[in-house]
Structure 1
Amino acid sequence: MNTTPPTRPDVPPGAGRRGPGRPPGARTGDRGTRDRILEAARRQFAQGTYATTTIRAVAAAADVNPALVIHYFGSKRDLFAATLRLPLHLREQIAALVRTDPDHAGEHLVRLYLRLWQDPIARAPIAAMIRSVFSDPDAAEAFGAFVSDHMVGPLVAALGRDQPALRVSLVAGHLVGLAVGRHILGVTPLANADTEHLTACVAPVIQHYLTGPLPPPTP
């Protein structure tokens, strides 16, 4: 007689069993467990790089089975993308940019982006990603998608100018380069400049990318 309990297809192996020290709440569908995994992932990515962070390390830090990490997030790349999701108050500010005066969109976007690096929740995973973009194509793609899809893309779409894909790329490239010089390489005086000074310097360029005339594509 087969006494093996049936396997539920929607639960990863081991997800229903408690490991050593594993809290009772660590089960499929537990929002608290998912949040704990996400917080552990933020710490792991911030302490290392995309390449050196593993699913097993994140699972150990969150005190869950690695299969549960995969169940919630699918892959390391998807897990990293989840750590980059902006806090609610920043998402609301970006949504507000879409409704702002088009003539000042560049200024508001640059100021918000620079302040993002001062946010304790957002800064660590973003800094970890930028450290990784030079050596890992998955990391580079994920960070580029973060800036393009969550910060720049909605604004460009709302402004409705021509060549939107090129405008998104120009803005995203400029903002990523600014962050690399200021926060990763520590280039002086970028690293020492205050937010408002940098905003005044960079905003006109970003404004042109967003709403100014661009040369027509080469036939």
Structure 2
Amino acid sequence: MSGTENTRSGRRPGNSGTREAILDAARVRFAEVGFDQASIRSIATAASVDPALVHHYFGTKKELFTAALDFPIDPEVVLSQIAAAPLENLGETLVRAVVTVWDSPVGIPAIATFRTLLTTRDPALARTLLLDVILKGVRLRLDEAVGDGAKRSVLAASQLTGLLVTRKMIRIEPLASMPIDELVAAVGPTLQRYFTGELPPGT
């Protein structure tokens, strides 16, 4: 095969180099425009590979995003529970689903990844994870049911981020060791108010 044909294929030499090039391009693109606006084709173009290679290595865009963050948890573990919850139970369901993952063995590397996103990488990736992946379905449901989905989901994101920091990063007691049922009962209604309650004018 000629060097010209190699150039046209858009393939980089070596599987490892190709995979890392895609991941690097994906991190930049997701940080720049968010999950929804970052297309597989644009990421492939930035990595100088064919879009088919992106699918070959990573499957779906959501799987690529998870790999780009080096996130050890499939977001569907949480998303499927949230999607199945009735609107009136959304707050408690979200808290229970997220905290259950945090408190599991796989939660340790997941929290480490999130800490890295907040402190050493572009925080836009953490924002994309929260708003464009974890809370996207919630935002769309709230837009349809009560309105202000974007505002409500951001308020929920602030609560979840604060809960993560206080429970798992700086471990403030008694929150750090509070049983999940007690935590859900305490925090779930606050999230539910953000989701379906009346917000103050101008909020």
Instruction: State the TM-score, normalizing by the size of structure 2.
Output: 0.67
RMSD of the alignment, in Å?
Answer: 2.8
Partner of 2:140: 157
Is the alpha carbon distance of 1:85 and 1:141 closer, same or farther for their aligned partners in structure 2, counting shifts above 3 Å?
farther
Give unmatched runs, 5+ long, in structure 1: 16-26, 28-63
1:71 aligns with 2:22: yes
Distance in structure 1 (CA, Å) of the matches to 2:107 and 2:98: 11
Which residues of 2 match residues 164-183 of structure 1 at below 5 A?
A: 164-183=149-168
- Equivalent pairs, count: 164
Residues 88-131 of structure 1: per-residue CA shift (max 9 Å, x gap): 4433223213xx1x222111111111112134445513432224
The structure that is helix-richer by fraction is 2
Q: 2:83 aligns with which of 75, 91, 95?
A: 95
User: What is the identity percentage for the equivalent residue pairs of Structure 1 and Structure 2?
Assistant: 25
Q: 1:143 aligns with which of 126, 142, 153?
A: 126
Distance in structure 2 (CA, Å) of the matches to 1:133 and 1:71: 22
Runs of 4+ in structure 1 off by over 6 angstroms are none
Q: 1:192 aligns with which of 150, 167, 177?
A: 177
Rg: which structure is higher? 1
Distance in structure 2 (CA, Å) of the matches to 1:71 and 1:84: 18
198-207 vs 148-157, greater mean Cα deviation: 148-157
Give unmatched runs, 5+ long, in structure 2: 29-64
Instruction: State the TM-score, normalizing by the size of structure 1.
Output: 0.63
The residue type paired with residue 170 of structure 2 is L
Is the alpha carbon distance of 1:133 and 1:105 closer, same or farther for their aligned partners in structure 2, counting shifts above 3 Å?
same
